[in-house]
Amino acid sequence: MSISLHIGQCGVQVGIKYWQTLLKEHEKSPKSPVFFENPDTATQDYHLLRAIFIDLEPGSIDNLSASSIGDTLRPDNLVAASSGAGHNWAKGYYTEGAELIDEALDAVRAEIERCDCLQGFQLYRSFGGGTGSGMGTLLLEKLQEEYPGNVFHDTFCLPSSYCRDGMSEVYNVLLSWAKVHESCTFGSVIDYTPVSSLAARIFGTRSTYPGWNSITSAVMSDFSSCLRLPTREMYSLPKLATSLVPYPQYPYIVHSLAPGFQPSVFKDQWPTLPEMVGLLGTRDTLTYDCQVNRGQNLAGLYTARGTFDRMQFREAQILFEQDSKFQFLPYIPDAIKSTFIDDAPEDYRSSLGYAVNSSSIREMLITARESFAAIFRRKAFLHWYSGEGMDEMEFIESDEIISSAIFDYQQLDHLPPLWKTYEDPDGEDI
């Protein structure tokens, strides 16, 4: 069983769409106790969500209560304040968020008591705002202190460079990412820059948050399908982490979904399996702004939903792995796993999701660091953070952590060949 934590306005809004998608999918399939709970043990009615929604502003929580999933949540699992964080990481981490953190932790403890076997936590938030970035980071650290043996999967959205809500987002991203790099078991990165471009092609405008939320929820519901729908492979949250993170210093994964996020385009002729494999990594299927063919791919997971010929799928997978554009570490056997689920997503005849742990994530880390350096060297907007009790050294330390992470990924790209020989002290080849 895992507990979902939706933090901040983005986390709550994505959560509404995400759980609406899950509830529609489970109208035909039994609800999994991993994601749903049954308040009446005499029945098999798993209708309450194992989810907690947290925000420092009441507006998004009020919208949640009035939405179609409002009746599926316990009132105690809605945690809100009235102050807001004002797009300030320091407010979410040090002041306003610190005042609400005990109430949030009480809700988590109560939810854990209703779990038979806790696998871990799944966080959904944005790094751009103050609540998701600041309070979300504080909550992650507190949970790690109290429940150190569990898996922490952090799904975070990076703000779009096309539609910024404020320049403080640059600070929030770096501060949050530095903390996450030392805290989470593994993280899913959703970059709203390519997502906003996708939304422009699908909905006609870049700045449509419902469109962004729809794309994000489609990716995350596909990724979580192996945890909640019948499949031969029997995945769990710890098994996902073990499969996708061979080294703890490389915890990030990125996602794509074929045939894309506009299934109506293919209603006349649905893509074949080899065609869907070929679509992965194209601009109509990805939610990240980096080139996975420019780095080393450590591990991957295919999620095939619908009716598939497994032999045909295996042949297409081998061709994909042998493609010279994609480099996989030669000493990790079976780096790419696959799982098959008979139930296709709503409005899809079939779909193919792909989650990959790639060193090309360094491109996004470099972008975050360069954006931070451009305004930090001029000390712009720092007074908003120092006014909440932050010290300038925290920015410098966070920058050093991200710099170290970039260096680690660059080292991965320059590993010696597997067949290189080494000499022992006596001068003989080993």
Query: What are the residues facing 373 on neighbouring strands?
Result: none
CB atoms near residue 323 (< 10 Å): 13
User: Within 13 A of 341's CA, how many CA atoms are on the CB side?
Assistant: 27
Half-sphere exposure of 117 (CA within 13 A, CB side): 5
CA distances from 295 to 90, 189, 300, 369 (A): 34, 16, 14, 19
Residue in the structure block whose two tokens are 């999933």: 69
At 326 the pLDDT is 64
Q: Is the pLDDT of residue 262 over 90?
A: no
Would you call 245 exposed, middle or buried from its count of C-beta atoms within 10 A (0-12, 13-18, 19+)? buried
- Whether the predicted model's global pTM rises above the 0.75 cut: yes
pLDDT higher than threshold 50 for residue 417:
no
pLDDT the model gives residue 419: 37
Note every long-range contact of 113-118, with CB atoms under 8 Å and residues 24 or more positions apart, other chains counting.
114/37, 115/1, 115/3, 115/50, 116/1, 116/33, 117/1, 118/1, 118/2, 118/3, 118/147, 118/150
Q: What are the pLDDT digits (tens) for 295-341?
A: 888 999 999 998 887 787 877 777 776 664 567 777 787 788 888 89
* DSSP bridge partners of 191: 158
Confidence class for position 430, pLDDT limits 50, 70, 90: very low
Q: Is the pLDDT of residue 45 over 80?
A: no
Alpha helix segments (H runs only) across 73-167: 89-93, 96-113, 130, 136-146
Residue 160 has pLDDT above 90, yes or no: no
pLDDT of residue 379: 92
pLDDT of amino acid 225 = 92
Read off the pLDDT of each residue in 138-153 and give the average, rounded to a whole number.
95
- Residue-wise pLDDT for 334-388, tens only, equals 788 888 898 888 888 899 999 999 998 999 999 999 999 999 999 999 999 999 9
Does 424 have pLDDT greater than 60? no
Arithmetic mean of pLDDT, 37-65? 84
Residue 119 has pLDDT above 50, yes or no: yes
For 95-110, what is each residue's pLDDT tens digit? 999 999 999 999 999 9
Instruction: Please report the pLDDT score of residue 422 as a whole number.
Output: 39
Mean pLDDT of 131-160: 95
Q: Assess whether pLDDT exceeds 70 at residue 421.
A: no
| Proportion of the chain above pLDDT 90, given as a percent | 55
**What is the average pLDDT across 147-151?**
92
Q: Is the pLDDT of residue 420 over 80?
A: no
Q: Are 143 and 106 in contact (CB under 8 A)?
A: no
Question: Does the pLDDT of residue 67 top 60, yes or no?
Answer: yes
Q: What is the mean pLDDT of residues 65-81?
A: 93
- What is the C-alpha separation between 292 and 225, in angstroms, rounded? 24
Model confidence band, residue 418 (pLDDT cutoffs 50, 70, 90): very low
